[in-house]
Structure 1
């Protein structure tokens, strides 16, 4: 049941995010969207610290006491309030960076949502440790839905960028309130604080939060840099592309993770079987994800116009680039869980540090002078991350780089063929009066082309993949030959 509620939470939040994206795109301008996105990137970086400082430490602690929980709670509350006050005090500097009137008030208001995370982070970790995922899922879905309702109402009313601020703050408030309402009575904090408990939690928590912070900083620093160098309008386009691609990734990739991750954990003691399972996972992820994201890239202009309106048409460049990054992302989707299952998360941290260092150096030394430069910098980050991650996997599992990507070749060829055919079909039917009919034709052509090419090139492999999925469902293990 824990797995069910976890899947429901991820899927439900992704659907709500897509719905919100469509609504806001109709009522907000790219500049308004970009202004809040840049401010929120600052807030989210700090919220990683307040939300995750003790999260993993509490979950992994063998026998945490109420003194551990209360110490963590009061520390995160203090930290979140300090961050909130610091942001308010420095909000004018943010406006100087952005050169957008009113941005100081935006980032100052968003900081109140950050302050609320300090009141909920510890109880969230405690619910996870107690496997009360139903309460967490309901909290997330209800608070997101209520925040979305208020934000959309404000957007319709004409609040502009402030509608996103209203959504964020109300969502944070509802999330905190609902979390404490659903929490068992035994979670009620006492007036106690332990410095020894704080030191104990920080020994693990500081390392864990550093790894998470570096991982989250890559995209946030990129968005903030785009806001500074290219302005709010360009950042709005980039963030819209990110949101669309990330939402689609969350909906499609989460189900694959739910199928494969338990398998990797169960067989981590058997290197040969683990390598075989990893290669099957690569085949599964690429077979499913390549047609989805290549299809998104091919239909980006039509889809953008239908979902968001013609004012967002300039975002299609970034949708195209971010979608094609699936070529690098899908084959390494299980790299992090595999290294974690082997007890080597530090290798993932190393890859993230290298990628973050590249991002920082390239932005500081060269800046971001155009849309194309921004897209190129992000492509470079994905390439570096892929290369170094492949190197770490080779050292740990003895899988050569070629073996790691071998099972991606057939889906890649099928996906590229599909993209080319859909692209030329789109150019030949662009005079149609109905964009919905045009989209339907493009999707039909894409699905038929991908399946036909895949079956022609490697029908046996496709059959085996479905066979292994049935095996996973029935037995929870992988049979032989999974690396074919």
Structure 2
């Protein structure tokens, strides 16, 4: 059976995951601006559009089977081996299909010049899917520390290779090398730390037995993928590769806080909520607490980036990208609006509310695609980003309603408590933006503007959080205190 889920195990694994993502964040904070200064918007756009197709096929290729492995009560190796071979067969077929029809997919996305990239990137699909079974074994064992180490190593090596190649004039191939190096190193690392060795065992009935859950998860994952990637495709078709490149560069940077906190927390919370499936009170408390904590951490990053988008774009990306600072700001704002939703997907997955997850994801995907397409049809990237912010505000309300209804929490109470840290962060960002617009001329150096804005915003946010979130801060303090006490007791008894 999966290990017992408790506060200590969850916080420990979240800590390891956040450490991994923070290390990656530090590297990307440096490498993304460097690459943006060396490469052109068209090069960024070509790789981003091609990667959209690869990521989509890699996601549906596994059909959600490895997610089903995570929630199995027993670790039956015959089932694990069967899923491995099913994943491998599907991924190879996907890669072959993409290689053959690369020209068709590239033309469909409005970037026929990226067809040759698609053919090469088709080989990424088996590399990415090949490690899913090993990762699922680590996830069900709540052993995220080992995955965290290899994530740091793989991302770091990939980023270093990309920067070195870009400096030596390899252009778009620098980005391609980054993808392959990261995928290959992580694949090898996952198998090394999970101690999993595939055996030639395949039972179709065991795979089919997982399909009911896995296909439901795949449907929601497809919809979520469309939500996150459809803007890139729409912008490429309506506005061209240059605007797609501007969107890609800004989105890469604006997504870094999410990669640090969200991806770390979500990976741990899925098996954690699964372990609480039969304990409604504990599950509800965990949902609200984890939502508040992630919002307290994420919201100031996203709204703060919105407030400082103009000097940040000039300092980090250079003059060739300066025109795109509103895009960076609006992307940060759109992501900040959704910070209270950060735990909703792992909650619905973990407690078995597949229907609510599926329909919420479908509605969000349709609304996001329609809103961005409507904004892009005007011929301006900024309009598309404004509509993205609008649809995300509506999504916040809709997602909250679906999750709190499934949990049995009163809607208005749940929405207020979970969104309160976001509103505090928004107030902080508005104050920083006002001060920057009013007194920015007194400090024309953009670096000093960023430092001053970050300092003022940090102090203001800390004060507001202490005033508005005392019960949450008290609970966090008690958890830390109890955990330290438990560690000391274990050390003494040992």
Taking structure 2 as the reference length, the TM-score comes to: 0.83
Q: CA 1:268–1:416 in structure 2 vs 1: closer, same or farther (change >3 Å)?
A: same
> Could you tell me which residue of structure 1 aligns to residue 89 of structure 2?
78
CA distance in 2, matches of 1:274, 1:363: 35
Candidates 468, 473, 477, aligned match of 1:466? 473
Q: Deviations over 1:182-234 (max 9, x none)?
A: 452xx333333222223223333222222222222211122112112111111
Q: Work out whether 1:309 is the aligned partner of 2:309.
A: no
Per-residue Cα deviation, 1:411-466 (whole angstroms, up to 9, x for no partner) = 456444433332233232335353222222222222334345566xxx3x443332
> Could you list the per-position Cα deviations for residues 113-167 of structure 1 after superposition, in whole angstroms to 9, with x for gaps in the alignment?
1132243222332343345434322332222222222222211111212211111
SS in 2 for 1:25: helix
**1:240, 1:315 within 8 Å by CA — same for their partners in 2?**
no
- 1:227 aligns with 236
Contact 1:42 1:224 in 2 (8 A): no
CA separation in 2, counterparts of 1:253 and 1:429? 32
Structure 1 residue 3: deviation in Å? 4.8
- 2: distance between equivalents of 1:454 and 1:7? 22
The alpha carbon displacement at 1:82 in A equals: 1.5
Deviations 1:310-364, CA, capped at 9 Å, x for gaps: 2222332222222223553133333334445554243122110111223445567
Aligned to 1:236: 245
Q: Which residue of 2 aligns with 1:403?
A: 413
| Equivalent residue in structure 2 for 1:425, among 430, 435, 452 | 435
Q: 1:173 aligns with which of 176, 179, 184?
A: 184
Encode CA deviations 1:42-83: one digit per residue, 9 max, x unaligned.
Answer: 111111123563212222333454432332222222211211
Query: Aligned pair 1:373/2:383, yes or no?
Result: yes
Residue by residue over 1:379-406, the C-alpha shift from the partner in whole angstroms, topping out at 9 and shown as x without a partner, is 2441342232222234334544432232
What SS does the aligned partner of 2:130 have? coil
State which of 447, 457, 467 in structure 2 corresponds to 1:446.
457
| Distance change (3 Å), C-alpha of 1:398 and 1:9 | same
Per-residue CA shift, 1:63-115, capped at 9, x if unaligned?
45443233222222221121112112222224434555641111111111113
Deviation at 1:4, TM superposition (A): 4.5
What secondary structure sits across from 1:430 in the alignment? helix
1:352-367 equivalence runs, <5 A: 352-361=361-370
Partner of 1:349: 358
Where does residue 34 of structure 1 map in the other structure?
45
Q: How does 1:10-29 map to 2 (within 5 A)?
A: 10-29=21-40
Point out where structure 1 has 5 or more consecutive residues left out of the alignment: 477-484
TM-score by length of 1: 0.85
For structure 2, list consecutive stretches of 5 or more residues without a partner in the other structure: 1-11, 484-494
| Superposed displacement of residue 7, structure 1 | 3.4
Structure-2 separation of matches of 1:83 and 1:191: 21
Give the aligned partner of residue 107 of structure 1: 118
Which stretch of the first structure deviates more once superposed, 23-32 or 313-322? Answer: 313-322
Tell whether 2:159 aligns with 1:152: no
What is the CA distance between 1:37 and its match in structure 2? 0.8
1:138 to 139, 149, 156: 149
Q: What is the alpha-carbon distance in structure 1 between the residues aligned to residue 282 and residue 275 of structure 2?
A: 10
Give the corresponding residue for 1:295.
Answer: 304
Contact 2:20–2:148 (Cα < 8 Å) also in 1: yes
Instruction: State the partner residue of 1:211.
Output: 220
**Cα contact 2:333–2:389 (8 A) shared by 1:** no
RMSD across aligned positions (CA)? 3.3
Distance 1:68 1:242, change over 3 A: same
**Residues of 2 paired with 1:31 and 1:336: CA distance?**
34
